[in-house]
Amino acid sequence: MDSAIRIDETAIQATLEAGRVPDSVRVREILAKARGLGGLGPGDVAALAGISDPELLGELFDTARWVKERIYGRRLVLFAPLYISNLCTNECAYCAFRKRNKLVQRRALTQEEISKEVRFLVEHGHKRVLLVAGEAYPEEGFSYVLKSIETIYATRSGPGEIRRVNVNVAPLEVEEFRELVGAGIGTYQVFQETYHKETYRRVHLSGRKRDYDWRISAMDRAMEAGINDVGIGVLFGMADWRFEILALMQHIGHLEERFGVGPHTISVPRLEPATGSDLAEHPPRPVCDVDFRKLVAILRLAIPYTGIIMSTRETANIRRETFALGVSQISAGSRTNPGGYTEDEEYASQFSLGDHRTLDEVVRDVADMGYLPSFCTACYRLGRTGADFMDLARPGEIRRHCDPNGFATFQEYLLDYATPETRDVGERAIRVAIERMPPDVRRTSEKMLSQVREGQRDVFC
C-alpha cells in the first residue's frame, strides 16, 4: 500500500464546482443520509457547503444537532492549553511567534515555572491540558518536552492533579514520537494550517515548517510510532473553507485506509489578530460567522464520531451557538503565552482571545445551557483509544462509559473548585441530565456520584 498522502486539488475543485448550486431535493437526501450516522462523501459535503437558502440552512443545523446529541449526548469536555515556550525557527506570516518578530519577548519556561503554571490550573479545577511549544527548543532539545510532560504529571495540589497531557508540538521523527508514547501522552495534535499548497507556500516563508510534505505526513509517523489518538485541524481564513474541509476529508481517508482509523479530534480555529502579523489582522479568505457555523455542522455530519474542538479564539456567543452543531471539546480560562496563568508580565500571546472568561464562568454557562461539563480522562487510561474507541463509539456503546464518567468528574469540580453560584447551577444540571439516562446508565452514574460525594476522587469506568 502506498503510504504517501497526496491532496488531490483538481478533484476537490471539480467536486466543489459540481455542488455549487445544490437543489433542495438533493440537500434533503443528504441530510436524511447523515441521520444514518455513516458519514458523508465529498460530493455530499460540497452540496451542503453550497447551501444559501435559509430554510435549508436551518435543516442542516437541525440535523447536526440531532447527530451531535445522538452520539455525544449533552457532554462537553473542557481543557486548558499550557504554553511552555514561544521559541521558534519558522517564519509563518500569521503567527506572533514567528522567528523574525521583534515584538515578542522569547522565553522557555523552566521546570519550576511549568510546575507553578500547572498548580494554578489544578487549583482552578482542570484535569487535562494541551501542552503547546514553539517549534524550537532550548539547548537540551526535544528532551525539554519530555521533561515538561513528566513535570506536569508530577505536580499536584490538594485533591487535584492533571490526569492527561495532550501535546501540540512540531512534527517529529518516528523515534521521537515513540518517546512521546513512553511519556504517557493522550492525543498528539498538529495542524496543517492550510491544505492549499500555493497558499501554504505563501504564508510559510522559512524554516522546517515550509516543507508541506513533512508536515502533512506527521500523523503517519505518529501512528506508526504507536500514538493511537491524533488531532488534526485547519486554520480557517487563509484559503477557501470549502476547499479546506474537502482536503481535510482526503487526509482523514488516507489515515483510515492506512491505519484503520482516522483522527480522534479535529480543531476548527479561525485566524485571529496576532502581534506583528498583518496577515492575521486581514485574513485573505475570512470566514463569516454563518459560514463558520455551517462548516462545523457539515463536519459533524461528515465525520460523526470524531471530536470537534473549539478554542477560546472564538467569542462566548459563537462558542454557545456551535455547541449544539457539533463541538464536543472546548478550552476554558485559556492563556496562550508562556507563564500566562501566573505572571503579570506581558509576553505576547500567540493570537488574540475572543473568550476571556474564567473556567468557573464557562462551566456555569455551559451547565446553565443544559450541557454537562466533563473533565473525563478515563478512555486514555483504560486503553479505549484509536480503533478500540471507534469500535465502541459507532454502535453507541461509548456513552455507557462517557456519561457516568462525565457526571463523576463534573461532581468533583463542583465539590472541590466551583463557586457557590456555579455549584447550584451544576447540581441542577446533573439532576436534570440523570433523568434522561437509560436505567442502567443512570444506576452506574448515581453510584459513581455517591462515591465522589462521599470523598472518593478519580472515579471512572
3-state class of 337 per DSSP? coil
Could you give the maximum distance between any two Cα atoms of the chain, in Å? 61
C-alpha cell at 250: 482526503
* pLDDT reported for residue 344: 65
Does residue 380 have a pLDDT over 70? yes
User: Which band of pLDDT confidence, cut at 50, 70 and 90, is reported for residue 345?
Assistant: low
Query: pLDDT class for 41, splitting at 50, 70, 90?
Result: very high
DSSP state of 19: T
Q: Which residue has the higher pLDDT, 274 or 13?
A: 13
| Mean pLDDT to the nearest integer, 78-90 | 96
What local confidence, expressed as pLDDT, does residue 335 receive? 92
Query: Which set of grid coordinates corresponds to residue 421?
Result: 453560584
| Global model pTM greater than 0.85 | yes
Per-residue CA distances from 334 to 74, 292, 327 (Å): 22, 21, 17
Q: Locate 217 and state its grid cell.
A: 505526513
Opening angle at CA 126, ends 76 and 300, nearest 5: 20
**With bands split at pLDDT 50, 70 and 90, how would you rate the model's confidence at 1?**
very low
pLDDT of residue 394: 77
- Region(s) of the chain under CATH 3.20.20.70: 74-379
- State mean pLDDT over 244-260: 97
Q: Is the pLDDT of residue 109 over 70?
A: yes
In 3D space, the residue among 39, 451, 101 whose CA is nearest the CA of residue 275 turns out to be 101
* Residues written for the chain: 461
Say how far apart CA 158 and CA 139 lie, in whole Å. 34
Q: Does residue 34 have a pLDDT over 60? A: yes
Contacts 24+ apart (CB under 8 A), 296-299: 296/64, 296/268, 296/322, 296/325, 296/326, 296/327, 297/60, 297/61, 297/63, 297/64, 297/325, 297/326, 298/40, 298/45, 298/48, 298/49, 298/60, 298/64, 298/245, 299/245, 299/248, 299/266, 299/268, 299/326
What pLDDT is recorded for position 395? 73
The pLDDT of residue 241: 98
- 455's CB contacts (< 8 A; 6+ apart) are none
The dihedral of CA 346, 351, 356, 360: what is its sign? negative
Q: 346: pLDDT confidence band, cut at 50, 70 and 90?
A: low
Q: What Cα–Cα distance (Å) separates residue 222 from each residue in 155, 216, 226, 250, 378? A: 27, 11, 7, 18, 22
At residue 57, the pLDDT reads 97
Predicted confidence (pLDDT) at residue 389 exceeds the cutoff of 90: no
Mean pLDDT, residues 78-100 taken together: 95
Question: Which CATH class, in words, describes the domain spanning 74-379?
Answer: alpha beta
- Overall average pLDDT of the 448-459 stretch: 96
Question: Residue 351: its pLDDT value, please?
Answer: 76
Task: Quote the mean pLDDT of the chain.
Answer: 94
pLDDT at 390: 80
DSSP assigned state of 173 = -
Instruction: Give tens-digit pLDDT for 301-324.
Output: 999 999 999 999 999 999 999 999
β-bridge partners, 108: 85
